[in-house]
Structure 1
Amino acid sequence: MLPTRLEAEKQIREIKIDDIPSVLPLYITYYNENEDGCWTETTAGKRIHQVLSMEDSYGLVLEKDDQVIGFVMGFFKQYDDIVGYTLEEIVIAKDFQNQGLGSFLLNELEQRAKEKGASCVELQAVNDEMHEKYYGKAGYYTAANFVMKAKWFE
């Protein structure tokens, strides 16, 4: 059974740079086992540190019995007339997946980001059925007025 908002306040807290050692194994395991990544402690640690040390970064850690079982991180971004929240990563430990905890953590992040002044949450996701189902269930849609552009160097 998912925790109530009151219970969540005891299980969810803001993420800090000091949390990198406890979220690192979750990150590496998730991306290497589920998304065919090749993350190492060095590369994943740098990635997480980059996001957490960014100005206006904000994220949450989900704990159960004093063990980190998930986290979400990103940052607030100023536009001309609104503030948005850019979601960079959300990870739930493998043993706790498919229990609604990712949706619970995402919902809690949305509520807290809104309380902090964000008008929206934006993100980039892999274009596959799993991500479409997960984010679609949470009310996210593919923005038709934005496209991702990239240029690879030779």
Structure 2
Amino acid sequence: MTIREMKLEDIELILPMYLSYYNEQEGGCWTAETAGKRIRQVLHMDDSYALLMEDDIDVIGFAVGYFKQYDDIVGYTLEEIVIAREHQNKGLGSSLLGELERRVREKGAACVELQAVNDEMHERYYGKAGYHNAKNFVMKVKWF
């Protein structure tokens, strides 16, 4: 297994996994067009940073996000982390997240921020990695 920096041309490699995960496991309605646009939007941001996990044959997973400047620190915002269904529950997601944390810390990030679905699976995964619900921030939304 290898973990390398992801590039724009890698988007086509991850689309089948992205569609499978979000449509089959999360009940989404993504298409190759909308998923490709989502990933391209993140990768085109200033200071984007993404990793791709591969074995000898296939792409196993990926993580995408970007560095965000605050007044006195730089944080890293993790937008997506996905492990292919057939490779889940083997510790690979934890390995990818750990490697991402190591690399963004080396690049100057003081923290990793993310938004996650509020369910048991996500709470267990992120909790095991040491992530906690922020007490000083609440997500706000206004639907139209």
TM-score (norm: length of structure 2): 0.98
Cα deviations by residue, 1:72-110 (Å, 9 ceiling, x for unpaired): 010000000000000000001111100000000000000
Q: What SS does structure 2 have at the residue aligned with 1:90?
A: strand
Q: What SS does structure 1 have at the residue aligned with 2:90?
A: coil
* Corresponding residue for residue 38 of structure 2: 47
* Corresponding residue for residue 134 of structure 2: 143
* Corresponding residue for residue 28 of structure 2: 37
* Corresponding residue for residue 15 of structure 2: 24
State percent identity of aligned pairs.
71
Q: What SS does structure 2 have at the residue aligned with 1:146?
A: coil
C-alpha distance in 1, partners of 2:23/2:131?
A: 25
C-alpha distance in 2, partners of 1:75/1:66?
A: 28
Counterpart selection for 2:65 from 74, 87, 102: 74
C-alpha distance in 2, partners of 1:114/1:60?
A: 14
Q: What SS does structure 1 have at the residue aligned with 2:132?
A: coil
C-alpha distance in 2, partners of 1:29/1:57?
A: 24
State the Cα RMSD in Å. Answer: 0.7
1:20 deviates by: 0.4
Gap regions ≥5 residues in structure 1: 1-7
2:7 aligned partner, one-letter code: K
Q: What SS does structure 2 have at the residue aligned with 1:99?
A: coil
* Corresponding residue for residue 5 of structure 1: none
C-alpha distance in 2, partners of 1:103/1:18?
A: 25
Gap regions ≥5 residues in structure 2: none
Q: What SS does structure 2 have at the residue aligned with 1:45?
A: helix
2:25 aligned partner, one-letter code: N
Q: What SS does structure 2 have at the residue aligned with 1:74?
A: strand
* Corresponding residue for residue 62 of structure 1: 53
Which consecutive segments of 4 or more residues in structure 1 shift more than 3 A?
none
**Are 1:134 and 2:95 counterparts?**
no
* Corresponding residue for residue 83 of structure 2: 92
